[in-house]
Structure 1
Amino acid sequence: MTKKKHEPALPPAEEAARYLDNARQILSEKAKKEDGLYYDVKYVKMASGTAYSAALLILDEYLKQREGIKFEKPTSIEDYTNRVRKYNKKLLVLLHAVYGELHISGYYHGTRSVEIIQAGLANVRQMLTYI
């Protein structure tokens, strides 16, 4: 019996960037853009969920850095919002934008709007600068 080598976990910022890159790749290779709209909603939803997961990884790391040993993983968007509000209003604005653009519009409603999804991805990229 051979043991599998486990790759070391990436630092949170690199892992979040990897998620974001995966979301961009899904959109460019599978969602197919046409006249400002994505053609395949299935892949828009998949990419939106992946990018939103990157945002949550970023927020978890941000809160770990601020709260130290007191950190407990947030259990809802309200929990994230209340805790981020204590530390950084600009990050809070980004959180609200990403929640609306990627989680609600992209993942939940399945918007086909390239503009909305690209704005969400740009906001997640900006969130990366906080960790």
Structure 2
Amino acid sequence: MEAIIEARRHIDNAKGFLSNNANKKDGLYKDKKYVKIAGHTAYTGILLALDELLGEKRKKTKKSVEWYQNELSGIDKKVTSDFATAYQVLHLDMGYEGSPSADLAKFGVDKAEKIISWVENRLSKPER
């Protein structure tokens, strides 16, 4: 469960970048640099959790977003959809574009927390 703790730490750091550094005013973040950092940090948190669940079963190599989607689609369609949304919002919209919307950032971080909790629940269930 060390990976889950680390994943949650990434989410807390992302929230900190947004609340302490991104300079929110009227629902928009003014400093794109910190929006980008927060997006990448939160997305990395998701990958840490997913690697704990999926990575042990596979050779340790760099994995693409398609690899994660394919692996998840065989387990849970809803979390596959959540992952696709988190990828779009956190990695692309925030991480690369620096989207200033505070609502979008909250939505993305909420998806990240949901995925990490899902992984934690899967890891805590005994295998049958």
The equivalent residue for 2:107 is 119
The equivalent residue for 1:89 is 77
Q: Which runs of 5+ in 2 are unaligned?
A: 121-128
Q: Residues 41-60 of structure 1: matches in 2 within 5 Å?
A: 41-60=32-51
Q: Residues 69-88 of structure 1: matches in 2 within 5 Å?
A: 70-73=57-60, 75-88=63-76
CA distance in 1, matches of 2:24, 2:59: 40
Q: Give, in angstroms, the shift of residue 72 of structure 1.
A: 2.7
- Give TM-score, length-normalised by structure 1: 0.84
Q: How many residues align?
A: 118
CA distance in 1, matches of 2:59, 2:79: 19
The ranges of structure 1 where at least 4 consecutive aligned residues each deviate by more than 4 angstroms after the TM superposition are none
Q: Which runs of 5+ in 1 are unaligned?
A: 1-9
- Give TM-score, length-normalised by structure 2: 0.86
Q: How large is the Cα RMSD of the aligned pairs?
A: 1.4
Q: State which of 88, 106, 128 in structure 1 corresponds to 2:116.
A: 128
Q: Give, in angstroms, the shift of residue 113 of structure 1.
A: 0.6
CA distance in 2, matches of 1:26, 1:108: 16
The equivalent residue for 1:38 is 29
- Give the letter for the 1:83 counterpart: E
- Give the letter for the 1:104 counterpart: L
* Structure of greater Rg: 1
